[in-house]
A = this chain, B = another copy of it.
Amino acid sequence: MYRIGIVGDGYTAADLLRILAGHDGVKVTRILSTENVGRKISDVYPHLTGYCDVVCQTSEIDNLAGECDTVFLALPHGLSVPMAARLVKMGIKCVDLGADFRLADTQIYKKYYGLTHADPELLKTAVYGIPELYREQIKQTALVANPGCFPTSAILPLAPLLAAGAIETGDIIIDSKSGVSGAGRTPSPTTHFCAVNENINAYGVGTHRHAPEIAQELSRAAGSQVDITFTPHLVPMNRGILSTIYAKLRPGVKAAGLRSILEEKYGQETFVKILPEGIMPHTKWVYGSNMVHINVVADDESKRVILLSALDNLTKGASGQAVQNMNLMLGFKEDTSLRNPAIFP
């Protein structure tokens, strides 16, 4: 039985607790918080009543040392670096759900997050945590950079097509639509119910921090620089991301071939499903599950390619993928405690 620590008590922490409640091989022993120190987590989140009664402690590393074998970090950017450094040194494995270890280039990190990275050496050891792409490296590492929710939804459908040279590397447009939980639990004017309900709007147009993360991974897949335009939108729903992606067939590539590439890549994967032709992904079909649903529509004449992918931003987009990574790091079956279907309707 591995002992698990969670640093943070926001929505991703809550979803970790939901998922880990069904995991027979681990036990959450510590939850660190800033706002809820001294409160039982089931008082903070009454849906956990009967599942987890851990009392939140202050966000100090001494509260983890000797009490945890693996730690999930769900912290604002910048704060994970020193904590991960000390934990890894103690031999404690870490999955960081924040952005601190996702961008290999510290210049880009500085540009988008405004911080000089405090531990570039540690950064080099981190593995970008999409198991379908980096499974073997994840098994070996002590530190996983759990991907952003938007990047996961964009990288999974695009990476195999770029790796196969099937689509152009320029002018890829990613138009993403997200539920509100992606904005976190802290109240703000933009997450007020009345600001979101009966509304849709774009935000961070041309400036969102997930853009360089997507570009990095797509460029790795393509083996050359990939240019993207990324526009996120806020949709009146709690959970879910739908990405509608526009690309172009490369000369000589047939539209029909794209489906084959995707099916070959993901045919054996538990959590990635290529839907039958004509069935477009719906976010509700993956609500609360670790699934990604993908489809592709392409046209030989116009060369236009449209990819669609749906996932739950808190599960496959955050905490579910984090547990999937943990399972790999600790030697569990990869889908342990992640097998539940979506809640529908």
Q: List residues of chain A with CB under 8 Å of any chain B CB.
A: 11, 14, 17-18, 21-22, 43, 45-51, 171, 173, 175, 177, 179-181, 185, 187-189, 191-203, 205-206, 227, 229, 231, 233, 235-240, 242, 244, 246, 270, 273, 275-276, 279-289, 291, 293, 297, 299, 302, 304, 306, 308, 310, 339-345
Cα distance A307–B100 when bound, in Å? 32
Is A284 a contact of B244 with CB atoms below 8 Å?
A: no
Query: Given A187-B189, A344-B14, does the pair A242, B194 have CB atoms closer than 8 Å?
Result: no
Cα distance A195–B279 when bound, in Å? 14
Is A236 a contact of B236 with CB atoms below 8 Å?
A: yes
Cα distance A175–B286 when bound, in Å? 22
In the assembled complex, which residues on chain B have CB atoms less than 8 Å from the CB atom of A275?
46, 49
In the assembled complex, which residues on chain B have CB atoms less than 8 Å from the CB atom of A293?
46, 49
Interface centre among A11, A192, A283 (most CB of B within 10 A): A192
In the assembled complex, which residues on chain B have CB atoms less than 8 Å from the CB atom of A196?
193
Is A343 a contact of B288 with CB atoms below 8 Å?
A: yes
Cα distance A188–B46 when bound, in Å? 18
How distant is A251 from chain B, measured CB to nearest CB, in Å?
Answer: 16
In the assembled complex, which residues on chain B have CB atoms less than 8 Å from the CB atom of A229?
246, 302, 304, 306
Is B237 a contact of A273 with CB atoms below 8 Å?
A: no
Is A185 a contact of B192 with CB atoms below 8 Å?
A: yes
Is B188 a contact of A191 with CB atoms below 8 Å?
A: no
Is B282 a contact of A51 with CB atoms below 8 Å?
A: no
Interface centre among A43, A193, A308, A340 (most CB of B within 10 A): A193
Closest to A303 in B: B171
Cα distance A205–B242 when bound, in Å? 14
In the assembled complex, which residues on chain B have CB atoms less than 8 Å from the CB atom of A198?
179, 197-198, 237-240, 283-284, 287
